[in-house]
Structure 1
Amino acid sequence: MTDYPDRAKEPEFSVVIPFHNESENLPELLLEIDAALQKLGQAAEIILVNDASTDRFERPPMSPHFPVRWLDLTVRSGQSAAIYYGIQAAAGHWIILLDADRQNDPADIPSLWERLQEEKLDLITGIRRRRQDNWQRRWMSWIANRIRARLLADRTSDSGCSLKILRRDLARRLPGWNGMHRFIPALACGMGYRTGELPVHHRPRQAGRSKVRPWKRALEATVDLVGMVWLVRRQFRGRLRDPEAR
């Protein structure tokens, strides 16, 4: 793990990418992320969190201009666990979350960052435009988003979009439990952070296989939602004031 004892040398951004068996997508994805980060004009790092993949790389994927850090989970633990451990290892002041399937376009990152700064947000999430998923996934997502929004009032249109930018202090307050990644905006709202959203592109999967099983996910999400309603109502809303903002 890279150590940054001097805060002045810490990167501005840490891109956290959880993955399982995405060897065909990662090399091209890293090039796309590299191009997006160059437009931001800040120091950054990329953290790949391998959720016990069983495929093999001929060589570790690299980024031309930014350091790539590789974390390996000992057993397959799921997307939430991979995100959680990636965040704990991140040194950047801002965390960029992104799936490895290349359906979200890293070229949207600069636009998200610009909107976040304009509106002085703590978290911004994408809204997938013209989703390139089958009708079953789109239909179940539509229902889930409306039920979640009614119960949690998280002001989020598309909680399932993996592309997000959030403050590191917010990211490190996220609980380490399975299903957490589905409710990041709701958790942020419940803790009193400012959240927003912006339409982003959505692309068809070009390589690899989806790990999502719609009906299994629907059952898991329903159980998780019950726990989330309780948690959001019980968690602390306050946070420490930034001394530099005085």
Structure 2
Amino acid sequence: MTEATSSSARNRMISLVIPAYNEAGNIEALVQEALDLMPADLLGEVIVVDDCSTDDSVARLLALGAPRLRVLRHASNSGQSASVRNGVAAARYPLIATLDGDGQNPPGDIPALVAAYDPEGPQLVGGVREKRRDTWSKRTASRLANGLRRRILNDDCPDTGCGLKVFERDRHLALPFFHGQHRYLPALFRAYGATTAYVPIGDRARRHGASKYTNWKRGLQGVPDLMGVRWLVLRARVARIEEAQ
């Protein structure tokens, strides 16, 4: 393998970042599934960012003894966006895949998103959950929220709540960060010069525990965040830079 070929292959490998909070019973099975299913020439590492769980999630992960697994732990509960951000910052590969820790999205769908990614665009590829296994109320609230967000942000994203995404590490770290950022990545990527695409993925019922979010909690958090992101999108400017000759 030539040096150029080796560099190209590395650029297609991913760091899989999984934020998790009190997901014992889900997270270790999800990590093992990802390690078992994903090709070694695609999956460079799995980074689980534990958001100061009060269960034995970390102990179960460490018991796996997987060489490509890295477990980071917050000293205090800091939220999903901080977990994603810190996992991306710690990543050793230029391409990132994110996956929620509840195990509802199959890691076997990640290669399809990686195949759709292109350095020239789309630089973010998101999953769109088909045949969602959530309750009727949660599906209805999600459809309404997605419709409102698309009208306000014009982000063309059919399912921003899906945790399965593939994107460029450096572009993500260059975005303005705030609590709740992970829900608005498509809009932010587009505002700062990237293009996006979406791929259908599977959705599974949660095996253990309960969701950390309710429709009421999402609504209370979502309204001010949505207005703030609209302001960021309207104020964003991307300028091409060329060196003078």
CA shift at 1:238, angstroms?
A: 4.1
Q: Secondary structure at the match of 1:55?
A: coil
What residue identity is the alignment partner of 1:176?
Answer: F
> 1:239 and 1:100 mapped to 2: Cα distance?
38
What residue identity is the alignment partner of 2:114?
Answer: W
Q: After TM superposition, list the pairs within 5 Å mapping 1:58-97 onto structure 2.
A: 58-59=59-60, 60-62=62-64, 64=66, 67-97=68-98
CA shift at 1:114, angstroms?
A: 1.4
Q: Secondary structure at the match of 2:64?
A: coil
Aligned partners of 2:124 and 2:194 also within 8 Å = yes
Q: After TM superposition, list the pairs within 5 Å mapping 1:1-246 onto structure 2.
A: 12-38=13-39, 41-42=41-42, 44-57=44-57, 58-59=59-60, 60-62=62-64, 64=66, 67-117=68-118, 120-238=121-239
- State the superposition RMSD in angstroms: 2.3
Aligned partners of 1:127 and 1:158 also within 8 Å = yes
State the identity as a percent.
38
Distance 1:198 1:216, change over 3 A: same
Aligned partners of 1:27 and 1:61 also within 8 Å = no
TM-score (norm: length of structure 2) = 0.88
CA shift at 1:207, angstroms?
A: 1.1
1:244 maps to none
TM-score (norm: length of structure 1) = 0.87
Structure 1 residues without counterparts, runs of 5 or longer: 1-6, 242-246
> 1:240 and 1:94 mapped to 2: Cα distance?
24
Q: Deviations over 1:39-76 (max 9, x none)?
A: x6235011110101000155415375x51111111111
- Structure 1's consecutive aligned runs of 4 or more residues displaced over 3 angstroms after TM superposition are 7-11, 61-64, 117-120, 238-241
CA shift at 1:36, angstroms?
A: 3.7
> 2:45 and 2:240 mapped to 1: Cα distance?
26
CA shift at 1:119, angstroms?
A: 8.3
What residue identity is the alignment partner of 1:153?
Answer: N
Distance 1:43 1:98, change over 3 A: closer
What residue identity is the alignment partner of 1:208?
Answer: G
